[in-house]
Structure 1
Amino acid sequence: MPQVRPLRPAGPASRFAWLDDDQTPSLPEVHATVAVKPVEAAWFRRLLAFMGPGYMVSVGYMDPGNWATDLQGGAAFGYTLLSVIMLSNLMAILLQALAARLGVVTGRDLAQACRAFYPKPLNILLWATCELGIIACDLAEVIGTAIALQLLFGVPLVYGSLLTALDAILLLYLMNRGFRYLEAFVIALLLVIATCFTIQIIAAQPPVHAVLRSMITPSPEIITNPAALYIAIGIIGATVMPHNLYLHSSIVQTRNFAKTREGKRDAIRWAVTDSTIALMLALFVNAAILIVAAAAFHNSGHQDVAEIDQAFRLLSPLLGLGVASTLFAVALLASGVNSTVTATLAGQIVMEGFLRLRLPPWARRLITRCLAIAPVVAVITVYGSAGMNRLLVFSQVVLSIQLPFAAIPLVHFVSSRKRMGDFVISRPMAILSWSVTAVILLLNVKLLFDTFTGVGG
């Protein structure tokens, strides 16, 4: 196990003097570049200074992968799986709070912490599984963006998939302008998505009582029905995104907070507040997708709707709102474009943290994106759009299976007084965190059992 020298107080000699001698800060090009207001400033100004990373993290919780699982779940099972979305969101809030705490207190992202404190073979395993998760996430983004381009502009799926490689230019431009510009771009697209679904919810007029009951009361069918369980685990995989744990532990360090005990405690409080508010927006969007699908398809004899292009064709006539389908596609495009930011940054964080291998951002983006584009183009060629939608759902199940490989190290670190000092989480919080991780593991075991015995999915 590598020996890590204790952190030392910041000094005037170096901007990163508080870090270990051999530790490069996470995302060094934007590290500590966003000024925060002094502790005595008004609470709202403090919140605004820390607001941003939470919304970037929330992008991953409403990416195109969510659409496939939420649409399929709503059409097939009505409002039944709303409780899964609620549970997933609560899991996400907890795990992202832990990720922010790790980044603020240790000055390391999750990948760097794994490299510092775990043996090399385990690190290779964790890195490989994380890269698999990022490729699965990228699959969802490529597919979602390609479908949106086809629905809105008639671009063939293959060409739409290839066009997604150009997102490297967008990301580089925004990063060069400054991290706040990147955050503003992300938040603007999130508002577009939320607005589109607010209009569709109003048009769908779902029964409020049934929606609320399903959201807070889990149905036994979720566990007893293998098809429902498959979609439920896909929802968890699409909602609690494993690469976001690496991402959040890194980008929370873009804030230039004081590296004192009081400064870290204040930074944790505002970072957790930021991510919790942002993830409530993600809860609304995910629930809205499922609610619209349930209201439009489940009760109208279209329970077999499982593909995004099917939903696009049926939404306007079933909801009686001519613009509904267009709003649906616009939100999908905004979601796909937005999600490229989180996958790109997470890929860079993982590669640099585990391997200490730095590549130009455009090279990292193109490598990851090409790994995702290749299977998409192959599936389109062989199976057409139906195969794409099945691949989209499968990618979210892969993410769910990969999630414990990120959650277990995270909970392990923040539960360790040796690693966290006075900022170690309390025993009740540790029990809750390990319980959440155990639930994820059990669901994945059940999914794998059903899949290999032929009763799942």
Structure 2
Amino acid sequence: MPKNLATRTSGAWLLGPALVAGVAYLDPGNVASNMTAGARYGYLLVWVVVVANVMAWLIQYLSAKLGVVTGRSLPEILGHRMKRPWARRAYWLQAELVAMATDIAEVIGGAVALQLLFDVPLLLGGIITGAVSMVLLAVQARRGPRHFEFVIIGLMAVITIGFMAGLFLAPPSPTGILSGLVPRFTDAGSVLLAASILGATIMPHAIYAHSALARDRFGRADSDAPGIPRLLTATRWDVSIAMVIAGTVNLAILLLAAATLAGVAGTDSLEGAYAALAESLGPVIATLFAVGLLASGLASTSVGAYAGAEIMHGLLRVRLPLLARRLITLIPALLILGLGVDPTLALVLSQVALSFGIPFALIPLVALTAKRSILGEYVNRRRTTVLGIVCAVLLIALNATLLVLLATGA
């Protein structure tokens, strides 16, 4: 076994990369999409959250497996396999636009949280969120992945408490939950929100990032190294824990909105939801919700910047310093905040944009992990590849349906 791998598999603590990538599933876009879905449609879209998290487990495991076995990230492998510069640049452009949509959601979410908690103007809140994220990225750059993981996992704990506290005072209806498990839509708006939930849950940048996080943690190794089976077992546990946490919190947000905010005017926005929670459940629950939103924005924007840097490095073979990239990607979000665009609407639409980037990340991931020339003996089993194809087809079909509905004004 290579020395690097032997060292990294000898410790008892192998979890972490999936928990960091899993923060992407708890970003402000998720909060806005799930809160809006519950407030507008009650329990109708519970099934979308459940299906999205089941699909996310498979997708994140495949991404992590690619990084563990090859010692390279998905963008690195794609950049190596795309021989024509124009193809790499075109692929990078769509991936970069997706990363920017992610940044928009996360910075806006942090800005809204600061306004709710401290009455900070949205533009200033966006600047503060960006500045704090730069501090977190400096931890990753200077102290290494383990310290970065500890910080992000700590923020994940704050997110979980903040978004789930309200359920103890306003338990959801068991009958409503069961009815929400039946797949169905009622109108174009419910399809739009379903696409938003999927875009917020199965995030393209998380697919790119997870393979890089696994590479950074476990290093490069020969595909026949004896430590890899142990790493893959630990990775399955890591992904399972991360997806259970993310899925539970996302479902809790929708259920809280369905139980408390359904039919209440103005609660399909984060500010309206905060005010309604304060009125119905008290200021403590509302404050915890805002704190969870702030932690969500800070953690997820740091992971998003990390993913964007990896996308650029892998596809363009250019590595910008993380902090410089953070400054550049703050611009679109700050422009939106400065122009006075409704922040909740911007969050939801950013998640719809993310859903259209999913196939560009998912199809290559499934294809690469099905190649024996890439993964050797760790290549996907046939049923795993089939399930990955099914996920991709379902996501593409939903996005195509959404486009038709929007085009016809249904």
TM-score by length of 2: 0.94
Are 1:83 and 2:47 an aligned pair? yes
Give the equivalent residue in structure 2 for 1:326.
Answer: 287
Are 1:140 and 2:105 an aligned pair? yes
- More relative contact order in 1 or in 2 (CA 8 Å, sep 6+)? 2
Give the equivalent residue in structure 1 for 2:118.
Answer: 153
Distance 1:170 1:188 in 2: 12
Give the equivalent residue in structure 2 for 1:183.
Answer: 149
1:205 counterpart SS class: coil
Q: Which has the higher helix share?
A: 2
Instruction: Provide Cα deviations, 1:224-265, integer angstroms capped at 9, x if missing partner.
Output: 521111000100000001011110001112334764442222
Question: Is the 8 Å Cα contact of residues 139 and 147 (structure 2) preserved in structure 1?
Answer: no
Give the equivalent residue in structure 2 for 1:198.
Answer: 164
Distance 1:164 1:191 in 2: 19
Q: 2:68 aligns with which of 104, 113, 129?
A: 104
CA shift, 1:189, in A, is 1.1
**Which amino acid counterpart does residue 436 of structure 1 have in structure 2?**
C
Change (3 A) 1:248 1:348: same
Give the equivalent residue in structure 2 for 1:361.
Answer: 322
Are 1:438 and 2:393 an aligned pair? yes
Change (3 A) 1:322 1:161: closer
Question: Is the 8 Å Cα contact of residues 35 and 255 (structure 1) preserved in structure 2?
Answer: no
Question: Is the 8 Å Cα contact of residues 102 and 354 (structure 2) preserved in structure 1?
Answer: yes
Q: How is 1:374-453 mapped onto 2 (pairs within 5 angstroms)?
A: 374-378=335-339, 380=340, 383=341, 387-453=342-408
**Which amino acid counterpart does residue 116 of structure 1 have in structure 2?**
H
Give the equivalent residue in structure 1 for 2:138.
Answer: 172
Question: Is the 8 Å Cα contact of residues 57 and 275 (structure 1) preserved in structure 2?
Answer: no
1:50 counterpart SS class: coil
CA shift, 1:126, in A, is 1.8
Question: Is the 8 Å Cα contact of residues 17 and 217 (structure 2) preserved in structure 1?
Answer: no
**Which amino acid counterpart does residue 66 of structure 1 have in structure 2?**
N
In the alignment of these two chains, the number of paired residues is: 406
CA shift, 1:451, in A, is 1.3
Give the equivalent residue in structure 2 for 1:4.
Answer: none
1:88 counterpart SS class: helix
Give the equivalent residue in structure 2 for 1:255.
Answer: 217
Question: Is the 8 Å Cα contact of residues 9 and 231 (structure 2) preserved in structure 1?
Answer: no
Flag structure 2 segments of 5+ consecutive residues without an equivalent: none
Question: Is the 8 Å Cα contact of residues 104 and 347 (structure 2) preserved in structure 1?
Answer: yes
CA RMSD of aligned residues (A): 1.9
Distance 1:243 1:279 in 2: 16
**Which amino acid counterpart does residue 268 of structure 1 have in structure 2?**
L
Question: Is the 8 Å Cα contact of residues 200 and 292 (structure 1) preserved in structure 2?
Answer: yes
CA shift, 1:170, in A, is 3.1
Are 1:115 and 2:79 an aligned pair? yes
Change (3 A) 1:214 1:338: farther
Q: 1:271 aligns with which of 225, 231, 235?
A: 235
Q: How is 1:118-129 mapped onto 2 (pairs within 5 angstroms)?
A: 118-120=82-84, 121-129=86-94
Give the equivalent residue in structure 2 for 1:312.
Answer: 274
Give the equivalent residue in structure 2 for 1:225.
Answer: 187
**Which amino acid counterpart does residue 193 of structure 2 have in structure 1?**
I
**Which amino acid counterpart does residue 341 of structure 1 have in structure 2?**
S
1:306 counterpart SS class: coil
Q: 2:23 aligns with which of 59, 63, 78?
A: 59
Question: Is the 8 Å Cα contact of residues 81 and 214 (structure 1) preserved in structure 2?
Answer: no
Specify the structure having the higher radius of gyration (Cα). Answer: 1
Are 1:36 and 2:2 an aligned pair? no
Q: 1:241 aligns with which of 203, 207, 232?
A: 203
Flag structure 1 segments of 5+ consecutive residues without an equivalent: 1-8, 16-31, 39-44
Change (3 A) 1:255 1:178: closer
Greater shift, 253-262 or 406-415, is seen at: 253-262
TM-score by length of 1: 0.85
